[in-house]
Amino acid sequence: MSKQDGSSRQVTSGPVDDSATPILHVDMDAFFVSVELLKRPDLRGQPVLVGGTAGRGVVAAASYEARRYGVNSAMPMSVALQRCPNAVVLSGDYASYSVYSKRVMAIFEEITPLVEPLSIDEAFLDVSGARRLHGSPAEIAWSIRRRVFDETGLTCSIGVAATKYVAKVASSRAKPDGMLVVPAADTIAFLHPLPVSALWGVGRVTEESLARFGLRTVGDVAGMPPAALERAVGPALAAKLGSLANGIDPRHVHTTRTEKSIGHETTFSHDLTDQADLRRELLRLSDNVAVRLRKAGMVGRTVVLKLRYGDFRTVTRSRTLAEPTDVARRIYDEVSDALRELIGDGERVRLLGVRAEHLRVSTTGAMLWDPDEDWRDAERTIDEVTAKFGKGAVTPATLVRPVGDRRADTPRPSTRDDDAAEAAAGWGW
N- to C-terminal Cα distance for the chain?
40
Residue 156: how many other CB atoms lie within 10 Å: 29
- Cβ(337)–Cβ(269) below 8 Å: no
Query: How far apart are the C-alpha atoms of 198 and 202, rounded to whole Å?
Result: 7
Q: What is the identity of the amino acid at 159? A: G
Is 27 flagged in the annotation as binding? yes
Contacts of 172 (CB under 8 A, 6+ apart): 27, 157, 159, 422
Q: How does strand 261-272 pair with strand 349-361?
A: antiparallel
- On whether the CB atoms of residues 309 and 268 are closer than 8 A, the answer is no
Q: What are the φ and ψ backbone dihedral angles of 300, each rounded to 5 degrees?
A: -115, 140
- Find out whether 333 is annotated in a ligand binding site: no
Spatial CA neighbour of 331 closest among 402, 379, 393:
379
- Asked whether the bond before 176 is cis by omega within 30 degrees of 0, the reply is yes
> Known catalytic residue: 122?
yes
How many other C-beta atoms lie within 10 A of the C-beta of residue 218?
26
Q: Which residues pair with 2 in a beta bridge?
A: 12
Return the axis-axis angle of helices 235-245 and 226-233, rounded to nearest 10°.
120
Question: How far is 241 from 122, CA to CA, in rounded Å?
Answer: 23
**Do residues 201 and 237 touch, judged by C-beta distance below 8 A?**
yes
Q: Nearest CA to 278 among 216, 334, 337, 352?
A: 352
Helix intervals (H) in 28-83: 31-39, 64-67, 77-83
Query: What does the DSSP 8-state code read for residue 43?
Result: G
d(CA 204, CA 199): 12
Q: Catalytic residue among 36, 65, 116, 122, which?
A: 122
Cβ neighbors of 141 (< 8 A, separation 6 or more) are 24, 158, 160, 179, 181
Numbers of helices and strands, H then E, in the chain:
15, 14
Strands 179-181, 156-161: pairing is parallel
Which of the residues are catalytic?
Answer: 122
Which residues are annotated binding-site positions for Mg(2+)? 27, 121
